[in-house]
Each structure stands twice: as structure tokens, then as C-alpha cells.
Amino acid sequence: MKISASFLTIDNIDNVNKLVNCDIDYLHLDIMDGIFVNNKNEVLDVPHIKPLDIHLMVSDVYKYIDKYKTLNPLYITFHYETGVDILSVINYIKKFNIKVGLSIKPSTKVEEIIPYLPYLDLVLVMSVEPGKGGQTFIMDSINKIKKLKELKGNYVIEVDGGINDSTIKYVSDADIVVVGSYITSGNYEERIKNLKEKIYG
């Protein structure tokens, strides 16, 4: 299981630098437009030491892909609930040799995205309402991860929201866990070590 660290709750670049130098696999960039979710942010200056995993919580998906593809991310993930033509966006992201992820909110069922699974590199299960860090893990996410694993696609399963040293046990079927406030509200290295102990024993 890989750890993708979210720095949504960090507000200074020194701490972001400290985070990317820790033992994490990816840096998770949360991008919000104030429309798809209430909050709004912009992150164009990040240290590219770890592969970037971009999570677009935006309505105007194309505009933000164009903006953030310049960071050379490994993954760009957008939301199923945006109402855009999903296959067109998938193909658009792939054109830039960027891996593509599709994310579902807590109220969206896995069944709804089954037609798109063959085209995806990643499926992101939101285990909190998208839009802010520090929320409580939603238990129903466990069933979604299980379903996605049973469907055995070529995608990796990522889970995002409310993961800490006690909830990580629920998501052992996921390939990537996004962790934000649990890491950033303490000693980063120590918190990451705690998570890894829970993952690998």
C-alpha cells in the first residue's frame, strides 16, 4: 500500500518541503474551485521530489487539466459528479501521457462508474465529502473498495479522507491511501512511521 500525502492543511512552503522529503510515495495535490466544492485554492508551486497525484475537485475540468498538466503529474483525477462527458475527459488526460483517475463522492455508487472502469488507471473513493481536510472517515467506503477490488480491473484503488492510524485498518484493500491532517498535525516522520507499522505490522 502506498501513501500519498495531502498538504491541504499546510499553509507554508517550508512544511510542504519537509513533507515531500519524508518517506511518502506520492504528493497529493487537492485543487478546489469554489464551485464543485465551497473552498477554493491554487497550487502551482510545488517541489517535484515525489510523483504528483492531482485531485481536481472542480467543475471546469478541462481548464484545470490545462493548468495543472504543466506540473507533469503522474495522475490527474477528476470527479464523476461534474457532469462532463467522462470518456472525453479520460481521453484528453491520456493524450498528455498522464495517468487518469476518476473519483466518486460518498453518495455515488460504484455501479455508476462501471462503464468507465476499463479506461481508468485509478479509481478514487472519497471517504469524506470532498472539500476540506480533517473530517471523519465514512465507513461505507469500505464496501466500495471491496467492490472495486472484486471487479478486478487494471486500475489502482485510492481512498481519500479521514485516514489515520486507527482507520487505516479498514482500507487494507486499497492500493493508495491519501493522508492529510493525520500526518500534518503531528511530527510528520513519526506519523508516517505509525501508518507504515499499521500497514506492514
User: Cα-flanking dihedrals φ and ψ of residue 173, to 5°?
Assistant: -80, -10
| Number of residues this chain uses to bind Zn ion (CB under 5 A) | 3
User: Cα-flanking dihedrals φ and ψ of residue 96, to 5°?
Assistant: -95, 15
Q: Least Å distance between CB 200 and Zn ion? A: 24
Q: Per CB under 5 A, which of residues 157..176 are in contact with Zn ion?
A: 160
Among 73, 181, 188, 195, binds ligand DX5 (CB under 6 A): 181
Say whether 160 is catalytic. Answer: yes
- Which burial class, exposed, middle or buried, applies to 112 when counting CB atoms under 10 A from its CB (0-12, 13-18, 19+)? exposed
From Zn ion, ligand DX5, none, which one binds at residue 73 (CB under 5 to 8 Å depending on kind)?
none
Catalytic residue from among 30, 33, 53, 121: 30
Among 33, 133, 156, 191, binds ligand DX5 (CB under 6 A): 133
Cα torsion 132, 68, 148, 151 to 10°: value is 170
From Zn ion, ligand DX5, none, which one binds at residue 161 (CB under 5 to 8 Å depending on kind)?
ligand DX5
Angle between helices 86-95 and 61-68 (to 10 degrees): 10
CA distance 10 to 8: 6
From Zn ion, ligand DX5, none, which one binds at residue 135 (CB under 5 to 8 Å depending on kind)?
ligand DX5
Residues annotated as part of the active site = 30, 160
